[in-house]
Amino acid sequence: MSERLSRGGQVPPASKVDRLRDLLAGPSPVRAVGAHDGLTAKLVEQAGFDAVWASSFEISASHGLPDASLVTMTQYLDAATAMDEVTDIPVIADCDTGFGGPMNVAYAVQRYARIGIAAMCIEDKLFPKINSFADIAQDLLPAEDFALKIKAAREALGDEDMVLIARTESLIAGHGLEEALGRGRLYASAGADAVLVHSKSRRPDEVLEFASKWDVDVPLVAVPTTYGTVSEQELHESGFRLVIYANQGLRAAVRGVQEVLRELNAAGTARSVDERIASMSEVFALQGMPSGYRTTP
């Protein structure tokens, strides 16, 4: 935390990026959960997690669109801003490939930093990308070209601070462990503050092996979407500092809404689903509705 005093003589509170850096340097794994709007970000914070992952998959899905670089930078930025404005925990923005080349990345990182987003994550796939779990070939950008994006982001930040996360899709693309390690090292040397190694294996073995061979003093990030049997503690003991539950909230919401609407359609009465849905008062509380207005059951 900066020791610069405010006008009132008090030490100003740490920024969200400072808090995220402190968490990454702390003794416990940092736990982030995916969200796509202000309400879901509030639910992440309410549940006690450390950070919000402004998920490109969730944001795309919330527009009814595939996670395939169809949503624009402005739409992603607006969603991340809405999440950041209503929560006190750091927001980590999932920015796919950085919206284009090095110039696009430089522009994006300045825009995100200006509103106080704590971290930005970009991946080394070709633009336009397709979701990592889609049953389709995943094409990677040459490692040196992606490193230029990281350098451009770091230079564009200037005096601004933001945690830059470089995400390698080498394992997703089937290129193997050694290439993944080489890419990770190159991205760290280009200025990344953390490296996310992504995997769609059903077992955690390959990410754990990656961590066992990681020899750079830069934190690792895991996204255990498919290898969900591994615990946060196991990942942390292996060297991962940040664990991201990238899309479980959205998937839970889809299942819940489907089931309630099926029941409502079959029963033909609102009372049939009352016990399975949040009360208006609960939603008012999430919205910050003044207490005098919370009179509806």
Residues 49 and 113 in one domain: yes
Q: Which two tokens stand for residue 231?
A: 């615990």
Q: Is residue 230 part of a domain?
A: yes
**Of 246, 265, 284, which one is at a domain's C-terminal end?**
246
- Rounded Cα gap, residues 254 and 273, in angstroms: 16
Neighbours of 236 (CB within 10 A): 19
- Rounded Cα gap, residues 266 and 40, in angstroms: 28
- 15: exposed, middle or buried (Cβ count in 10 Å: 0-12, 13-18, 19+): middle
pLDDT band at 110 (very low <50, low <70, confident <90, very high): very high
Residues 205 and 82 in one domain: yes
Q: Which domain holds residue 151?
A: 16-246
Residues 202 and 268 in one domain: no
pLDDT band at 245 (very low <50, low <70, confident <90, very high): very high
Give the total number of structural domains in the chain. Answer: 2
The span from the first CA to the last CA of the chain, in angstroms, equals 44
Residues 131 and 277 in one domain: no
Q: Is residue 3 part of a domain?
A: no
pLDDT for 296 equals 52
Catalytic residue, from 67, 84, 94, 193: name it: 67
Q: Is the pLDDT of residue 5 over 50?
A: no
Residues 201 and 276 in one domain: no
Q: Is residue 144 part of a domain?
A: yes
Report which secondary-structure segment, H or E, holds 67: none
pTM, whole model, 2 decimals? 0.92
Amino acid found at 243: V
Q: Is residue 143 part of a domain?
A: yes
pLDDT for 294 equals 52
pLDDT band at 4 (very low <50, low <70, confident <90, very high): very low
pLDDT for 6 equals 42
Residues 172 and 276 in one domain: no
Q: Is residue 104 part of a domain?
A: yes
- Rounded Cα gap, residues 214 and 210, in angstroms: 6
Q: Is the pLDDT of residue 155 over 70?
A: yes
- Of 99 and 159, more confident: 99
256-290 pLDDT tens trace: 999 999 999 999 999 999 999 899 888 989 998 88
Q: What is the mean pLDDT of residues 226-235?
A: 97
Quick check: is 135 catalytic? no
Report how far apart, in Å, the C-alpha atoms of 181 and of each of 205, 212, 214, 268, 274 are.
15, 11, 7, 57, 52
Q: Is residue 6 part of a domain?
A: no
pLDDT band at 135 (very low <50, low <70, confident <90, very high): confident
Q: Is the pLDDT of residue 94 over 70?
A: yes
Residues 188 and 267 in one domain: no
Amino acid found at 44: V
Q: Is residue 174 part of a domain?
A: yes
12-49 pLDDT tens trace: 568 999 999 999 999 999 999 999 999 999 999 999 99
pLDDT band at 134 (very low <50, low <70, confident <90, very high): confident
pLDDT for 297 equals 53
CATH number where 219 lies: 3.20.20.60
Residues 34 and 172 in one domain: yes
Residues 175 and 284 in one domain: no
pLDDT for 1 equals 32
pLDDT band at 2 (very low <50, low <70, confident <90, very high): very low
Residues 282 and 235 in one domain: no
Q: What is the mean pLDDT of residues 204-233?
A: 97
Residues 113 and 176 in one domain: yes
Q: Is residue 94 part of a domain?
A: yes
Residues 241 and 260 in one domain: no
